[in-house]
Amino acid sequence: MTTNSLTTSQGAGRAGDKVFSGAALAAGCLILAVLFGVALFLVVQALPALVAQPEQIQGGQGFFAYIWPIVIGTLIAAIIALVIATPISIGVALFISHFAPRQLASGLGYVIDLLAAIPSVVYGAWGAAFLAKEISPAYGWLANNLGWIPIFQGPASATGKTILTAGIVLSVMVLPIITSLSREIFLQTPKLHEEAALALGATRWEMIKMAVLPFARPGIISAVMLGLGRALGETMAVALVLSSGVLTASLIQSGNQTIAAEIALNFPEAGGLKVNTLIAAGLVLFVITLAVNMIARWIITRHKEFSGAN
Amino acid sequence: MTSTLTPPRKRSALTKGQLPKFAPLVVVAVALVLAAAILALIGFNALGWGILSAILFTIGLVTWSGLVEGSRKAKDKLATCLVVGAFLVALLPLVSVIWTVLVNGIPGLLTPGFLTTSMNGVTGTTDNRSVEEGTRVLGGVYHALLGTIQITVLATVISVPVGLLTAIYLVEYGNDRPLARAITFFVDVMTGIPSIVAGLFAAAFFFAIVGPGTKTGAVAAVALSVLMIPVVVRSSEEMLKIVPNELREASYALGVRKWRTIVRVVIPTAISGIASGVTLAIARVIGETAPILVTAGFATSINNNVFSGWMASLPTFIYTQILNPTSPSNPDPSNQRAWGAALVLIILVMLLNLGARLIARAFAPKAGR
Amino acid sequence: MSKRIDVKDLNVYYGNFLAVEGVNINIEAKSVTAFIGPSGCGKSTFLRTLNRMHEVLPGARVEGEVLLDGDNLYGPGVDPVTVRTQVGMVFQRPNPFPTMSIRDNVLAGVKLNNKKISKGAADALVERSLRGANLWNEVKDRLEKPGSGLSGGQQQRLCIARAIAVEPQVILMDEPCSALDPISTLAIEDLINELKDQYTVVIVTHNMQQAARVSDKTAFFNIAGTGKPGKLIEFGDTHTIFSNPSVKATEDYVSGRFG
């Protein structure tokens, strides 16, 4: 056989293929490296605080004593946000997916997305300047009438800058997240199930209870988890709204603090070991949100395998 | 409930036992009047009137429906009322935030020089004087606007190539390999990184590499990139996935190399979606405060170099003006500037969102089959 | 122009699954060869191995030789991209590039490879290719309009024009008419008859009348059952295959008794 005429090819083109696929691969690996780097650099910079003598840490009782009240504060704020946002989000998602007229649905979805577009610092400013002022009379009422419940124990904050206000602002911020994810899940409900329910003479609500909600339950749970991740890590709403202090059971007094706000308020002026302490606090926040997000993603992927959707 | 044996005469048997069509209107009217009456006794306000009317409407309609139509229909009506109510409740903060920003921000924005001057030389005494003498508030957001633009542009320049190339790897080269699946998973995880942690990462990274206390616009841009890259990857990935495989095959069959196929066929086909995704990602990070706070510090004057010195940005400007007013005894000028900056920021974000929609429409391939 | 294809003992695999087994076939230059057979018998898969387009599908690989005028497509150092410039392909569904005008679609093979071409030469190539695809008269006034605005049949002829603009030796067609109406199908069939003056044409079709109308030679592929590999059962003059096949299965298929 003579020489193969097909082997004469433009070498430059081949190199182009190699370079391009290499670049794409490198970019993908860079992302893994960044995430790994986030963990690594946080650990490296946090280490001095973790191994320091207890009296060197702010508060003088070691890192653990410093971090646990603000971990609890973070959880309180996030839980308030979820308790408020979850039912409303599910209602809004149902409204857009199953109640609103078809032509309006996408427009209404866009309106809710606008909530997500507003920068967090604007929410913070709104919470501090408007909401706190407007809501403080309600706190007074709660303290007077429900004061026997520990979380509503008086005296109520006169400025309204409490963890409950911060939680309400957070709930506004996580609402669009939970709404848009739940809405997607609701729209994926098999039409067959919905029609089967309607054909049995079910009312719209019964159809939703029979077909939509059971199908969407895992999706809703993971949407709420993702909302939780956002609420845990949100900084500005809390930093601007909450007048922080020591861990307090009452939600309507000033007090409590979250990790993110603690970092934002103190990092700019921090120096020495304080920087390491704050980075260590950031590491704790990172680990908590990472766990929450991974659980949420895990629920989503498991759900996908179940439903056969996609 | 209804007997289907009797032939329909005047009223259809199928509509028997239902509330008349005008029932909701009647209940609305009654609820509005009743709520107004109750509030007249304890002091009237519009929000309270709306909420009370909605509650009374729900109770009234559900009770009436329960009496006439039975409990199943009543439950359905209750659910409908609650769902619509949830939507209206969700609108309240949106309207309230936008209203608050407009009312408080317009005076600041309309102050001459607000957009064209920095805070250089504006001190507590300046503010005290302008309050005491009633003159216009001095100082503006020029430096912060400039900083926001520089930091965001640099973040975009970092994020778009990395994000787009990663999306290309996932869609065109990944083939569901373990590495591709790992990247997909970790990109998802990355979307959940709290913004302040991204800021701390960038800070810790530069502290370790350049030296402790390094705070520049570039550090902030790296922090924003950590937040922006996963958004760009996800949206670009979705867009590349919907490019039909037939187009790739058509190109390969013409003897076009894979990388040229991607660059000249796949990306142009998906460019509208990619561009609007990038615009939305910019809109997301341009309002981020926490990461800039811990990476770029505060500046009161113009800094044109992202690689050296502290740099202001709109969000951190708002934050510091509210939390640490320039003149602690007279915070009003600072508040006015903060709200003006908030209005500028919201306008920017809304323009970006609108731009994303327009881009998606303008670049979309014409006349599909 | 136009080269012959000789296939020797070709096996096609998807991963570990043997999809097509032991194909030996000699395709003459300047002829039309039709591949017929029931769905899933591997004829489209086999067609793709003639210009290495199967490599686009994950996990697909071949054993054996495909010789293009004596040059092995699967020889060491052969670049699939070079193979595809010599062996063009037209697909089942018309797939013009939606972002390009009609003119740019025709020039796609040239432009996407960044080859320098003068405007005059480009104009001449566009006209020659569109005339070659019997489309020139219908689109000459709207060359700058998007290709996706054409009718299905016109789009398919645009895709053929795009394929011949690269000046290949062989044109492969994978059920080119299955998404088209009868009139457009007729136009494509007429075109195939003209194309064989210059090119070697290989066409996969489900439509036996079409195979009988357009082809000089016909190859019948069959599959013993699901999970079994597809095989070339019989190859010969189209007239013989349809009137006097030597294998029982071929006779059953062309007379419509199964498949």
Of C83, C91, C149, the CB nearest to B367: C149
Using the beta-carbon criterion (under 8 Å), do C98 and B365 form an inter-chain contact?
A: yes
In a domain? residue B128: no
Give the residue from C78, C62, C79 showing the smallest Cα distance to C15. C62
Q: Does C206 contact B at CB distance below 8 Å?
A: no
* Residues in chain B within 8 Å Cβ distance of A290: 189, 192-193
Last residue of a domain, one of B91, B109, B127: B109
Mutation for testing the C interface, residue in B173, B246, B247, B256 having most C CBs under 10 Å: B256
Cβ–Cβ below 8 Å for B255 and C99: no
In chain B, the number of structural domains is 2
Q: Give the residue from A265, A226, A221, A228 showing the smallest Cα distance to A245.
A: A265
Q: The domain spanning residue B157 has which CATH number?
A: 1.10.3720.10
Q: Tell if the CB–CB gap between C81 and A9 is shorter than 8 Å.
A: yes
Instruction: Calculate the alpha carbon distances from B70 to A140, B73, B74 in Å.
Output: 41, 6, 6
Structural domain includes residue B288: yes
B24 vs B32: CA distance, rounded Å: 12
More confident residue, C257 or A102: A102
Which of B170, B226, B349 is nearest residue A119 as measured by Cβ atoms?
A: B349
CB < 8 Å to B252, chain C = 53, 56, 84
Distance linking the first and last C-alpha atoms of chain C:
37
Report d(CA B10, CA B189) in Å as an integer.
64
Name chain B's partners: 3 or more CB pairs within 8 A: A, C
Out of B175, B252, B269, closest to residue C99 by CB: B269
Residue type, C16: N
Pick the residue from chain A with its C-alpha nearest to B94: A115
Considering the domain architecture, whether residues B81 and B146 belong to the same structural domain is answered as no
Minimum-distance CB partner of C53 among B252, B256, B269:
B252
Q: Are residues B194 and B68 in the same domain?
A: no
Same domain assignment for residues B180 and B77: no
Chain B residues whose beta carbon lies within 8 Å of the beta carbon of residue A206: 72, 75-76
Predicted confidence band of residue A244 (pLDDT cuts 50, 70, 90)? confident
d(CA B158, CA B221): 8
Q: Which ipTM value was assigned to this complex? A: 0.89
Nearest Cα residue in chain C from A17? C81
**Smallest Cα distance from A135 to chain B, Å:** 13
Strands of the sheet with C32-36, listed across from one edge: C71-72, C60-68, C5-14, C17-27, C230-237, C217-223, C32-36, C200-204, C170-174, C87-90
Residues B249 and B309 in one domain: yes
The residues pairing with C232 across neighbouring beta strands, listed in sequence order, are C221
Burial grade of B24 (CB within 10 A; 0-12, 13-18, 19 or more) = middle
| Tokens 């003459």 sit on residue | C28
Does residue B343 sit within a domain?
A: yes
Q: What is the Cα–Cα distance from B136 to B109, expressed in whole angstroms?
A: 12
Determine the distance in angstroms separating the CA of A40 from the nearest CA of chain B, rounded to an integer: 9
Q: Cβ–Cβ of C75/A14 closer than 8 Å?
A: no
Task: Look at residue C256 in the predicted model and tell me its pLDDT.
Answer: 79
The answer to whether B196 contacts A125, with C-beta atoms less than 8 Å apart, is: no
Nearest residue of C to residue A13 by CA position?
C113
Residues whose CB falls within 8 Å of the CB of residue C110, separated by 6 or more in sequence, listed in order: C117, C122, C125, C165, C166
C139-164 exposure pattern, b = at least 16 Cβ within 10 A, e = fewer: beeebeebbbbbeebbbbbbbbbbbb
Nearest-angstrom CA–CA distance, A287 and A281: 10
List of chain A residues whose C-beta atoms are within 8 Å of the C-beta of residue C168: none
Q: Are residues B285 and B226 in the same domain?
A: yes
Question: Is the omega angle on the peptide bond into residue A155 within 30 degrees of 0, that is, cis?
Answer: yes
Of A41, A115, A271, the CB nearest to B201: A41
State residue A75's pLDDT score: 93
- pLDDT for position A92: 93
Q: Does C70 touch chain A (CB under 8 A)?
A: yes
B84 with B168, same domain: the answer is no
Domain shared by B72 and B206, yes or no: no
Confidence (pLDDT) at C241: 92
Average pLDDT on A173-180 reads 92
Cβ–Cβ gap A268/B207 under 8 Å = no
**Which chains have 3+ CB pairs within 8 A of C?**
A, B
CA neighbor of B301 nearest in space, from B108, B138, B144, B123:
B144
pLDDT digit string, tens, across residues A37-94? 888 888 988 888 888 887 787 777 888 888 999 999 999 999 999 999 999 999 999 9
Which of C82, C95, C149 lies nearest to residue B247, judging by beta carbons? C95
CB-CB under 8 Å, B244 with C88: no
* Mean pLDDT on A29-42: 88
Residue A12 has pLDDT above 70, yes or no: no
In a domain, B135, yes or no: no
Q: Residue A31 is nearest to which of B90, B229, B289, comparing CB atoms?
A: B229
Q: Do A32 and B260 touch (CB under 8 A)?
A: no
Q: Does the beta-carbon distance from B247 to C148 stay under 8 Å?
A: no
**Residue B216 and residue B94 share a domain:** no
pLDDT at res. B19: 76
Q: Answer yes or no: do B30 and B162 share one domain.
A: no
Q: Which of B109, B128, B152 finishes a domain?
A: B109
Q: Provide, as residue numbers in chain B, all residues whose Cβ is less than 8 Å from the Cβ of A87.
A: 86
pLDDT at res. B2:
47
CA distance A191 to chain C (A): 29
* Residue B216 resides in a domain: yes
Mutate to test the interface with B, among C52, C78, C89, C95 (most CBs of B within 10 A): C95
B90 plus B151 within the same structural domain? no
Q: Is residue B266 domain-resident?
A: yes
* B216 Cβ contact list (under 8 Å, min separation 6): B206, B295, B296, B305, B306, B307, B308, B309, B310, B311
Q: Which residue of B has its CA nearest to A296?
A: B189
Question: Rounded to a whole number, what is the distance in Å from the CA of A15 to chain C's nearest CA?
Answer: 12
Chain B residues touching C85 at Cβ < 8 A: 254-255
Q: Is the dihedral of CA C134, C139, C145, C151 positive or negative?
A: negative
- pTM for the whole thing? 0.86
Q: How many residues does chain C have?
A: 259
**B48 and B170 share one domain:** no
Is the separation of the CB atoms in A245 and A256 below 8 Å? Answer: yes
Whether A7 sits inside 8 A of C79 (CB atoms) is: yes
Tell me the Cα Rg of chain C: 18
Check CB contact under 8 Å for B249 and C56. yes
pLDDT digits (tens, 9 = 90+) for C92-138: 999 999 889 999 999 998 888 878 889 999 999 999 999 989 899 99
Give the pLDDT confidence score for residue A9 in this predicted structure.
53
Chain position carrying tokens 């930091």? B151
Task: Check residue B10 and give its pLDDT.
Answer: 57
Chain B contact probe: residue of A10, A31, A123 with most B CBs at under 10 A: A31
Partner-chain contact B265 C112, CB within 8 Å: yes
Please report whether residue B333 resides in a domain. Answer: yes
Q: How far apart are CA A196 and CA B104, in angstroms?
A: 53
Q: Which of B253, B264, B369 sits opposite C84 (nearest CB)?
A: B253
Q: pLDDT band for A8, please (50, 70, 90 cuts).
A: low
Chain B CA closest to residue C166: B254
Q: How far apart are CA A30 and CA A34, in angstroms?
A: 6
pLDDT tops 60 at residue C154: yes
Domain boundary (B109, B125, B150) is at: B109
Contact across the interface for A14 and C79, Cβ inside 8 Å: yes
Domain membership flag for residue B12: no
Nearest chain C CA: its distance from A2 CA (Å): 8
Q: Are residues B317 and B249 in the same domain?
A: yes
CB-CB: which of C70, C78, C86 is closest to A7?
C78
Give the range of the structural domain holding residue B232, as residue numbers without chain letter: 142-363
Which chains have 3+ CB pairs within 8 A of A? B, C
- Give the mutation candidate from A14, A21, A104, A118 for the B interface (greatest B CB count, under 10 A): A118
Given a cut of 80, is residue C80 above it in pLDDT?
Answer: yes
Of C58, C93, C166, which is closest to B254 when you measure between CB atoms?
C166
- In tens digits, chain B (369 residues) has pLDDT values of 445 555 545 556 676 677 777 888 888 888 888 888 887 777 777 777 888 888 888 888 888 888 888 888 888 889 999 999 999 999 999 999 999 999 999 988 888 888 888 888 788 888 888 888 878 888 889 999 999 999 999 999 999 999 999 999 999 998 888 999 899 888 888 888 899 999 988 988 888 888 887 889 999 999 999 999 999 999 999 999 999 999 999 999 998 989 999 999 999 999 988 998 999 899 989 989 999 988 988 888 888 888 888 899 999 999 999 888 888 888 888 899 999 999 999 999 999 988 888 888 877 665 443
Most distant pair of Cα atoms in chain C: their distance: 57
